[in-house]
Structure 1
Amino acid sequence: MNQEHPVVPAAVSLPEITVKAVVLSVILAAVLAAANAYLGLFAGMTVSASIPAAVASMAILRLFRQSNILENNIVQTAASSGEALAAGVIFTIPALLLVGYWGDFDYWQTTVIATVGGLLGVLFTIPLRRALIVTARLRFPEGVATAEVLKVSAGAHREQGREPSDDFKALATAAMIGGAAKFCESGLRLWTESIEAAAQIGRTVLYAGINLSPALLAVGFIIGLQTSVVVFVGGVIGWLVLMPAYGLLNGLPADLTGLEAARTIWSHHIRYVGIGAMLIGGLWTLTKLREPVWRSLRTLHDTYRASRVAHINQHTDRTDRTDRDASLPWIVAPFVLSLFPMAWLYSRVVDSLSIGLVMTVVMALAAFLFSSVAAYMAGLVGSSSNPVSGVTIATIMLAALLLVLFMGSGHPAGPAAALVIGAVVCCAAAMGGDNLQDLKTGHLVGATPWKQQIMQVVGVVTGALVLVPVLSLLHAKYGIGEPTVAHPHPLSAPQATLMASLTRSVFGAGLPWPLVGLGAAFGGLVIFMDGKLEARGSTFRLPVLAVALGMYLPLKLSAAIVFGGAVAALAKRAASSGEETSRSGLLFSAGLITGEALMGILLAMPIALAALIPGLSADPFTLFDTPPIAGWPGLAVIALVGILLYRVATRTGRPERGNRHR
């Protein structure tokens, strides 16, 4: 028996999909998808936007005379779907530029890939809702947290003296701070994006640096001290252990010293060690998913049998409003229709109808499998801990090896073909975990599941339509992947760069396999150490993909992230309520990320306008070609932001005396 009592009982019907809810859903889905795309390309990580979307929805809907908690839930459902789709897109689609298949982002092909992948993620997880949420009652931590925030609008937490407008003010204030910092650094160029230094010692070089982005500080706060430390450990291994060791063994690159020597050694050699560690981490993740895979398949089988029995018995539909999913025809028909554009696209990529059809079958099976697994894993450990990168690595490697059998290792379209399969699967897996989190939230507040599922599709379509212009603007302004003369400090896009390297290696371009093998050995060592920690029951763990990501990222990024994790740990220790600290700090951090990301996109827009309007400057706000005093003002800004984040988390984290949390 289900013992969870929703805020809105099944017998009560409130407006859910209203005009204002749909309009607000589309706006927030577009904004959050754009923000998450920027963050993922910049830092190699994305964060859940469900709680910020819920807070923004509550604050805006309260301006209307009539609104309710189910409308709020509908808005956050669509908005979070848009940001989840962004993760799937930015992990894979930029790789098509990096392998040379595109010169710039192709709007319609990218939109089709994102729409189909997101749609499959929605469709494949609909049959799992009742089994995982109602029957198995898995945790779905982000879904539960979002439901608690939504209950504010229903008055459930008013006794704590909190109002939705207070949360929205914190979110908006942080967004203005993050946007202002980005404008000063990238728009006016008052300071550099980071402080870096390298000292030559004999045959080698030692490096230190920190990025001055408030968004990275916010990422560290959101993921917490433990995860941020693990990522930083990976960075220390790559930059402070392996890079000096490489210099001692091989000397510095010719005619390069100091900072340039350090960057060259890392980009040409050490990052391939990170690739090896991520590859072994992806394969290890796949082996650990055997049990969830089996349980997901059993759950789907049992759900299908139950629906068949109900159909055969021809019972009158007495299903409660809060337990009605989209019907089987509404799952099967869109699934079948989605296969046609993908078969057409795949056939164009490889110039072969038969191979295109095989690719479509492989894509559909992998999307079904991994979106189901992602849904199950989200129930256990949450969407933020879902191994989407590992799943995508495994999918792309499998697809690439299959394509080698059909086309040979020298086929020029091989890397692009494998990446397009991986892109759809990555979008489906990213959506799978997010969908079930949102449906868990709806279950707790009393929403109608099939209406949520409609809005998940709305969020997918919105995200798919806006992501290509965002990616094009970011590529034009900052560059993506490898540094160039025009873009010396590009958005690193670590996952997309990794996917491009892997596919090129399978189809003949090759990788420095000794370095990749070294990374695999490091990954195996991390897996062994993490197993020992698990056996001892330690609360500190070493997830291999997090360590590998740290090895693959520039150290200056992980240094800023661990700073945010330290702020989170200090705030949690100082505040009397860890739950409220987490929420207050989360909202402020989400505001910092959103503000910086949107400002970064806005600063790229003059580049597009300059191509249309002769004489218009691509950088109209620039005051200095070279920042006058390097990054020291930025260091002061990020320190002040850290202090402010700490104060917000601890001050608003204390409930009034005598109140207790549920």
Structure 2
Amino acid sequence: MNQPLPPPVVGPQRTLAEITVKGLLLGILLSVLLAAANAYIGLLVGMTVSASIPAAAASLGLLRLFRHATILENNMVQTAASAGESLVAGIIFTIPALVMMHAWHGYLYWPMVSIAMVGGVLGVAFTIPLRRALIVEARLGFPEGVATAEVLKTGGIETLRSGATADEERAPVQGFRMLIRSAALGGAYKLLESGLGLFAGGVSTVRSWIGGSYLFSGGITLSPALIGVGYIVGLNVAVLVFAGGVIGTLVGVPLNWILNRDALLLAAGLDQGQLLDGLSGQQWAAIAGAAWQKCRYIGVGAMMVGGLWSLVSLARPLAAGVQASLKAYQSRKSEIATAFPRTEADTPFSIVASVVLICVIPLYAIFYIAMTDYQYKVMIAGLMTLLMLVLGFLFASVAGYMAGLVGSSNNPISGVTIATVITSALILVSIMGKEGPAAVMGPIAVIYLAALICSSAAIAGDNMQDLKCGHLVGATPWRQQLFQVVGVAAAALVIPLILSVLDAGYGIGRPAPGGDPARFLSAPQAGLMMALAQGIFGQGIEWNFIYIGFILAALLILLDRVQERRGASFRFPVLAVAVGVYLPLGLSVPIFVGGVLAELVRRRARSLPADQARDQTNRGLLLASGLITGEALMGVCLALYVAFIGTPMPPAWFGGYSGLAALLLICLYLYRTTLSEGDG
């Protein structure tokens, strides 16, 4: 954890351009594009990945079109760009719940902008006091921040000295071209699959064996983006997500069918006295779907325990980090301001405190308006504002610390949001009760708070990663913090439009009217938040399956502690398995394949010199990020077409096996290009 810190690329005594007009405009543009891409992939699979590395590669490639672009300017661009990708995670994990529970009749623009803006700004403000403690003193790893710095150093060296080699001069162009090619490949696949209907989006089957006693259902979703997600999160997480899918589908569905046959027949719209021999394939699929809908609550229970365990396990190191940060600020007060180098100049604490105090006004207004005509809305709005300030700072600190330990892509943002939903719902139930208007307004207030805290925590983790990158390249912290806010503002203004388009084109949480029921975006976290909030307020929840999830989580925690004591690299984070249980098995299969590819590449890199291994790692991350970004942006474009033209996407001309063959070729391309020594 305590890694030695090398000197920054740009020393504190040097002054290079950081904030420029072209950097500002490029940062805003990339923030919007990456927000759109992450919205699609997050709603599809319930997982998001850090966009700092592709943002850095895109910045390096585009800024080379201008003269005198600096490494610090590129760093500012990726800082603003990655903010959009992170902020959208906080929104898509929560806000769709309001539409799914019919509290909203669509994705309301100004309420969403307000939630995203306030939550994002507070996420930046809450983590500014933690920068020195977690990055300088605790020296946490911050893997994405370090990797992004390596990309910037590789591509930005010609801005620091003359006499750069030809390979150094070509590095930014090669990285940018690689990113564009893989994005084009991912986008082309999505266009052929969804836009033109050349092949199906997946391969699936449902079979009944042993006279209908054993019900098997399985499949694979054909998606280059999910291959990319698996590649980025790595084999450990990919295996656990797949294991969760196996538990929920291959084990849970047949067991549920054996134990609850009559209830499942009823849920599938069939007569309980129906003879199994006469069931059609479509009816068996309906039974399997009903069984799986029940089993996914095992994932809900595991997420609840996993989220709470994340907080408990972080209590001691988090308290130490906050204490170290306060000591650092106290020591600064006793020293002359000019004694601090440029690379340690954070936003002044007085400004941070003022921003937090100013945010209290829109915070209160958000909750007050959300409670509409509820009798005690003045009191409830005040209570929720207080909870946001207290829990928001706590969970933002947790997210910042976890980003340092496991990275932004593996950061359990869902866990802290689940803890928020449970804590705030229990508090509100004790005050409001479960009867009458409280049963409706209580869950709404809980989801509003969850959206604000999830947005804050997501930005907090991203802010710390970016500040780590800035610390390594020699950026000025207060300028990065300012650009983080710029990225938040840019993304906040377009996220409601993106979600409205995706809902019209695919459907979020349910198929769009007249749309393909096999292609809607499941929004798993939002569905979970809705189930928890409404369940605690007495609207029904599958507690038996949730209790099984509790037991599963406890077993995983024990396994993880054993692995930790052994010093093993393979761990058992609960939330990865829980997400796998909650998602359809078909989504976890390509994620698993991507993780296997990443492991094969990592093993090949063991025999390489350190610089070649680093370059190979960066190539793989760029290619995987390109596949994600390309497919996701094409998905958004197709949703725009459906929303404005009104023509649904065509059915598949051929079966899924042709798409499977194409996906295997993309896997081969990812593997071989990553291992190549050039730009592929």
Shorter-normalised TM range: over 0.9
Displacement after TM superposition at 1:66 (Å): 1.7
The amino acid of 2:459's aligned partner reads M
* Aligned residue among 328, 343, 348 for 1:303: 328
CA separation of 1:431 and 1:204: change in aligned 2, threshold 3 A: same
Tell me the residue number matched to 1:430: 458
* More displaced 10-residue stretch of structure 1: 74-83 or 315-324: 315-324
* Aligned residue among 619, 624, 627 for 1:592: 627
Q: Do structure 1's residue 579 and structure 2's residue 595 form an aligned pair?
A: no
* Aligned residue among 63, 66, 80 for 1:64: 66
Tell me the residue number matched to 2:157: 154
CA separation of 1:138 and 1:572: change in aligned 2, threshold 3 A: closer
C-alpha distance in structure 2 between counterparts of 1:118 and 1:15, whole Å: 26
Contact map agreement 2:175 2:679 (CA 8 A) in 1: no
Matches within 5 A, 1:197-596: 197-201=205-209, 202-251=212-261, 253-254=265-266, 255=270, 257-267=283-293, 269-310=294-335, 315=336, 317-350=338-371, 351=374, 352-410=377-435, 411=438, 412-483=440-511, 486-487=514-515, 488-489=517-518, 490-575=520-605, 576-577=607-608, 578-596=613-631
Tell me the residue number matched to 1:81: 83
CA separation of 1:159 and 1:443: change in aligned 2, threshold 3 A: farther
Contact map agreement 1:97 1:103 (CA 8 A) in 2: yes
C-alpha distance in structure 2 between counterparts of 1:588 and 1:125, whole Å: 31
Tell me the residue number matched to 2:32: 30
CA separation of 1:280 and 1:135: change in aligned 2, threshold 3 A: closer
Backbone CA RMSD of aligned residues = 2.0
* Aligned residue among 185, 188, 192 for 1:180: 188
C-alpha distance in structure 2 between counterparts of 1:368 and 1:335, whole Å: 10
* More displaced 10-residue stretch of structure 1: 243-252 or 115-124: 243-252
C-alpha distance in structure 1 between counterparts of 2:324 and 2:447, whole Å: 30
What per-residue deviation string (whole Å, max 9, x for no partner) do you get for residues 491-535 of structure 1? 111111110100010111111211111111111122122222222
Tell me the residue number matched to 1:629: 654
CA separation of 1:538 and 1:458: change in aligned 2, threshold 3 A: same
Secondary structure of the 2:150 match is helix
State the identity %.
Answer: 47
What per-residue deviation string (whole Å, max 9, x for no partner) do you get for residues 344-374 of structure 1? 1111222311210111010111111111122
C-alpha distance in structure 1 between counterparts of 2:604 and 2:310, whole Å: 36
The amino acid of 1:250's aligned partner reads N
C-alpha distance in structure 1 between counterparts of 2:165 and 2:137, whole Å: 31
C-alpha distance in structure 1 between counterparts of 2:364 and 2:225, whole Å: 39
C-alpha distance in structure 1 between counterparts of 2:410 and 2:117, whole Å: 24
Tell me the residue number matched to 2:275: none
Contact map agreement 2:227 2:591 (CA 8 A) in 1: yes
C-alpha distance in structure 1 between counterparts of 2:501 and 2:91, whole Å: 15
CA separation of 1:319 and 1:417: change in aligned 2, threshold 3 A: same
Displacement after TM superposition at 1:633 (Å): 1.8
Secondary structure of the 1:542 match is coil
C-alpha distance in structure 2 between counterparts of 1:5 and 1:574, whole Å: 30
C-alpha distance in structure 1 between counterparts of 2:19 and 2:322, whole Å: 32
Displacement after TM superposition at 1:104 (Å): 0.5
Tell me the residue number matched to 1:659: none
Secondary structure of the 1:384 match is coil
The amino acid of 1:375's aligned partner reads G
Contact map agreement 1:26 1:458 (CA 8 A) in 2: yes
CA separation of 1:524 and 1:167: change in aligned 2, threshold 3 A: same
Displacement after TM superposition at 1:484 (Å): 6.9
The amino acid of 2:626's aligned partner reads G
Secondary structure of the 1:198 match is strand
What per-residue deviation string (whole Å, max 9, x for no partner) do you get for residues 395-446 of structure 1? 1110111111221123111111001111111111111111111111111111
* More displaced 10-residue stretch of structure 1: 68-77 or 6-15: 6-15
Contact map agreement 1:580 1:653 (CA 8 A) in 2: no
Tell me the residue number matched to 2:116: 114
C-alpha distance in structure 1 between counterparts of 2:291 and 2:139, whole Å: 50
Q: Do structure 1's residue 641 and structure 2's residue 671 form an aligned pair?
A: no
The amino acid of 2:508's aligned partner reads I
What per-residue deviation string (whole Å, max 9, x for no partner) do you get for residues 531-582 of structure 1? 2222222222111111111111100000111111112222233344443332
What per-residue deviation string (whole Å, max 9, x for no partner) do you get for residues 197-254 of structure 1? 0101223310120000110011111111121011101111111111111112222525
CA separation of 1:588 and 1:158: change in aligned 2, threshold 3 A: farther
Displacement after TM superposition at 1:146 (Å): 0.9
What per-residue deviation string (whole Å, max 9, x for no partner) do you get for residues 158-210 of structure 1? 58666111111110011111111111111111222110001012233101200
Contact map agreement 1:200 1:257 (CA 8 A) in 2: no
Tell me the residue number matched to 2:179: 171
Secondary structure of the 1:383 match is coil
C-alpha distance in structure 2 between counterparts of 1:278 and 1:76, whole Å: 31
C-alpha distance in structure 1 between counterparts of 2:487 and 2:506, whole Å: 27
Displacement after TM superposition at 1:480 (Å): 1.3
Contact map agreement 1:30 1:463 (CA 8 A) in 2: yes
Secondary structure of the 1:447 match is coil
C-alpha distance in structure 1 between counterparts of 2:190 and 2:300, whole Å: 30
CA separation of 1:654 and 1:110: change in aligned 2, threshold 3 A: closer
Unaligned runs of 5+ in 2: 271-281
Tell me the residue number matched to 2:279: none
Displacement after TM superposition at 1:273 (Å): 1.4
Structure 1-normalised TM-score?
0.93
Structure 2-normalised TM-score?
0.91
Tell me the residue number matched to 1:658: none
Displacement after TM superposition at 1:306 (Å): 2.5
Contact map agreement 1:580 1:654 (CA 8 A) in 2: no
Secondary structure of the 2:434 match is coil
CA separation of 1:599 and 1:654: change in aligned 2, threshold 3 A: closer
C-alpha distance in structure 2 between counterparts of 1:296 and 1:8, whole Å: 27
The amino acid of 2:424's aligned partner reads A
Secondary structure of the 2:217 match is strand
* More displaced 10-residue stretch of structure 1: 479-488 or 91-100: 479-488
C-alpha distance in structure 1 between counterparts of 2:427 and 2:181, whole Å: 51
The amino acid of 1:253's aligned partner reads L
The amino acid of 1:643's aligned partner reads L
The amino acid of 1:499's aligned partner reads M
Secondary structure of the 2:207 match is strand
What per-residue deviation string (whole Å, max 9, x for no partner) do you get for residues 603-661 of structure 1? 11134324xxxxxx434xx5x4x322221221111111000001111113899xxxxxx
CA separation of 1:320 and 1:407: change in aligned 2, threshold 3 A: same
CA separation of 1:3 and 1:522: change in aligned 2, threshold 3 A: closer
Secondary structure of the 1:385 match is coil
Contact map agreement 1:212 1:634 (CA 8 A) in 2: yes
C-alpha distance in structure 2 between counterparts of 1:294 and 1:498, whole Å: 29
Contact map agreement 2:311 2:398 (CA 8 A) in 1: no
CA separation of 1:216 and 1:264: change in aligned 2, threshold 3 A: same
Contact map agreement 1:572 1:650 (CA 8 A) in 2: no
Tell me the residue number matched to 1:93: 95
